Structure 1
């Protein structure tokens, strides 16, 4: 067991850095990355506004990056027809984008809002994504954790039915697009250090932030679980 990792509580949110190094990067306060996913009721306008209000007091800059690729693929994996999945994905993506922009405006933040697809022409992002896709093929430990992550997402949404190979493959493609920001956000966005945050702990976090070999996060990349404190009334 290493040194205890502190829980940082500020205003109406608590931040729990995953490792001691994550605490160091968090304390630097240079950059926060908020990852947002469509079809997720967590990201309401008011919650985004509250989170950004909290973040602007703690970090020099903030980016909100939202998923907009492979969303329809995941919906097909959940049982939607391709046509219905495409319509539902477009609707959910537009709604999420709108709520993020409204949250930014309400908070008075200068946070940037960017769709994940906008990085597809960025050489650093493309290179990191290639590293992820290669590890999914060649690194059994990494692949196993990815598959467990996907199963954890799909099982409660499929009535406990074990995901098919096609469903797992869809999930792997979705993950491959997001994971570069768990590895080296500073290189992608041109900041010195960065904390990626989400409101629940991601199963891949431990592997990418603590392993000593294979695909892993750079030292300037941190992860923290950031979530509203109870009884804050944030909706």
Structure 2
């Protein structure tokens, strides 16, 4: 059996999200290893900071650091809203509502963990700005901004991105960006002096994705210099591997705590070297899951009503057949904890792109539409939508969701059974093109080009370079696990040597209809999904070959360009007239 898992009914294994830490510089790495203090900034309006993620993040920070201070940046938030055109009174009310909402999320997360330790703290930034060391750092930041044009340009662009994220349908005027910079200026002292502000020997600030401003400040390329006791890092969520059950352990006993949970790349414990970036080779021992009793061969029912359904073909005919019913929950988890873009953000991006073109968009086709999450968002915005997918199970979920609000087609790419010139825009917004080999994606480009009139647009996303670096280690498979309510998943990421593809094995444990000996029983299903990395050069070549112009690649439905750490590439291009 693949992965050493035989047939069986399994008890679930509790799992918490773990996090990796990537210090910006060698000095930052040295400060991180001291693990004396960390600052978590939780920005109002940031959808990344949901209560489940905050709970796991605070749990992890409390385990790794001697002291945790959480800061809610409330200073100048109202100014951000006035920059967007809100009247002063409404801007103040909107800012207060967002501040209270995010503070309540932090409180709920900390309460779920039993409350903060005596040394920890939750602060509004307005409670800290009168501290003398904050004022000193603020003065240094203001002076640097007046002297260093590179720093000012970087801050201005960061503020522009914030405004665009809140109102992506229009470019903010220069004066609005300048006004919005006051919010960033209030945060900047923590980048360079959180150790001084909180009166600790050393301190780490962090964020979950790369920030050009942080990279500039800690690179030494600006007059604004952090102190030697100050560190910055990327801290990003990773799912924990499955808890191993030691040989001879009785059912229900707890395995020993695994060292270096989730194998983050940087150890935070003095005296330890760097942790490996992925678990070791997969064996029956590393993947053994607690079993209550065996079941008959695949597909046959037991008297308890459980079954083992395994699909062992590579990218089977209906690769999401086993996942269709739980797909929406899994998709929300990917948004909350794996940095996928929420559907409304994708919708904003598409609207902005379409409005920037000469041709109006009314009729939209989504290929690989899945359960209809993006179709629903587009229909809500007034577009006439059609969805195409190869999975009958996923289309059934979409049909239930959409009712009569969308036309649905079951077909397998590159076959798209629709008349030429039928659509103003074609979209693939859930990574479906990752499954296509180069010849298949070339044929799909040709099929999409046939459907679009001159000026029609094609937008799609695929895994970026950062995704393959993060999850696929050529030296050994990587294993991750997740528990969402009553459904559990095991993923095995495999990068075969010299192959043009990578494999991701899904093992899903969903509740059986009846318990076994009074304990929850689960049905196991397995599928193997094969993905083909798509290089930028290949996309540019295929766009030219099939009559598309102005191809651009963005970082995950944002205005930022794709880079080496991008998890999800978003491509846009326009059909030429020929």
- Give your verdict on TM over 0.5: yes
Q: Does 1:154 pair with 2:177?
A: no
- Per-residue CA deviations over 1:65-111 (Å, capped at 9, x if unaligned) read 11111111112222333222221111110111111112122123323
Question: In structure 2, the residue corresponding to 1:128 is in which secondary structure?
Answer: helix
1:94 and 2:100 are equivalent in the alignment: yes
1:59 aligned partner: 65
* Candidates 29, 41, 46, aligned match of 1:23: 29
Q: Does the Cα contact within 8 Å between 1:145 and 1:204 map onto a contact in 2? A: yes
Change (3 A) 1:232 1:138: farther
Aligned-partner Cα distance in 1 for 2:98–2:160: 22
Displacement of 1:42: 1.8
State yes or no: 1:33 paired with 2:22.
no
Decide which of 232, 236, 242 is 1:223's aligned counterpart.
Answer: 232
CA separation of 1:100 and 1:210: change in aligned 2, threshold 3 A: same
Give the ranges of 4+ consecutive aligned residues of structure 1 lying more than 4 Å apart after TM superposition. Answer: 230-234
What residue number does 2:82 align with?
Answer: 76
Secondary structure of the equivalent of 2:64?
coil
Distance between the aligned counterparts of 1:83 and 1:233, measured in 2?
A: 44
Q: Distance in 1 between matches of 2:140 and 2:170?
A: 31
Partner of 1:118: 127
Picking from 180, 185, 191, the partner of 1:176 is: 185
**Displacement after TM superposition at 1:220 (Å):** 1.2
Asked if the contact 1:50–1:107 (Cα under 8 Å) also holds between the matched residues in 2, the reply is: no
Between the aligned partners of 1:91 and 1:155, the Cα distance in structure 2 is 20
Residue in structure 2 matching 1:189, options 179, 182, 198: 198
Aligned residue for 1:148, secondary structure, equals helix
Report the CA distance shift for 1:36/1:156 in structure 2 as closer, same or farther (over 3 A): closer
The whole-number CA distance in structure 2 between the counterparts of 1:146 and 1:232 is: 38
**Residues 1:48 and 2:54 aligned together:** yes
Q: Is 2:198 the counterpart of 1:202? A: no
Distance 1:42 1:171 in 2: 21
What's the TM-score, normalizing by structure 1?
0.88
Compute the RMSD of aligned alpha carbons. Answer: 2.0
Deviation track 1:99-133 (CA, whole Å, cap 9, x = no partner) reads: 11121221233231001011121111011111111
Residue 171 of structure 1 deviates from its aligned partner by: 2.1
Instruction: Evaluate the alpha carbon distance shift between residue 179 and residue 233 of structure 1 in structure 2; reply closer, same or farther with a 3 A threshold.
Output: farther
Q: Secondary structure at the match of 1:121?
A: coil
Match 2:223 to one of 214, 217, 221: 214
Instruction: Determine the C-alpha separation between the residues in 1 that align with 2:196 and 2:181.
Output: 23
Report the counterpart of residue 3 of structure 1 in structure 2: none
Q: Secondary structure at the match of 2:234?
A: strand
**Structure 1 CA distance, aligned partners of 2:24 and 2:236?**
14
Q: CA deviation at 1:192?
A: 0.8
Which of the pair has the greater relative contact order for Cα pairs under 8 Å at 6+ separation? 1
Secondary structure, aligned partner of 2:196: helix
Provide the residue aligned with 2:356 in structure 1.
none
Separation of aligned partners in 2, 1:142 and 1:210: 12
Q: Which moved more, 1:158-167 or 1:140-149?
A: 158-167
Compared with structure 1, are the counterparts of its residues 233 and 124 closer, same or farther at alpha carbon in structure 2 (3 Å cutoff)? farther
Q: Give the Cα–Cα distance (whole angstroms) in 1 for the partners of residues 160 and 95 of structure 2.
A: 20
Deviation at 1:226, TM superposition (A): 1.3
Cα distance change of structure 1 residues 101 and 78 upon mapping to structure 2, 3 Å threshold: same
DSSP-derived class of the 2:217 partner: helix
State the 1:177 CA deviation. Answer: 0.6
- TM (norm. structure 2) is 0.37
- Alpha-carbon distance between aligned partners in 1 of 2:168 and 2:184, rounded to the nearest angstrom: 22
User: Which sections of structure 2, spanning at least 5 residues, go unmatched?
Assistant: 1-15, 239-337, 339-480, 485-578
Distance apart, 1:11 and its partner CA: 5.7
1:70–1:170 CA contact under 8 A, matched in 2? no
Shift of 1:188: 0.7
The structure whose residues are more often helix, as a share, is: 1
Q: Is the 8 A contact 1:186 1:221 kept in 2?
A: yes
Distance, in Å, in 2 between the alignment partners of 1:132 and 1:146 is 11
Corresponding residue pairs, total: 225
Helix, strand or coil: the match of 1:16?
strand
Q: Secondary structure at the match of 1:200?
A: coil
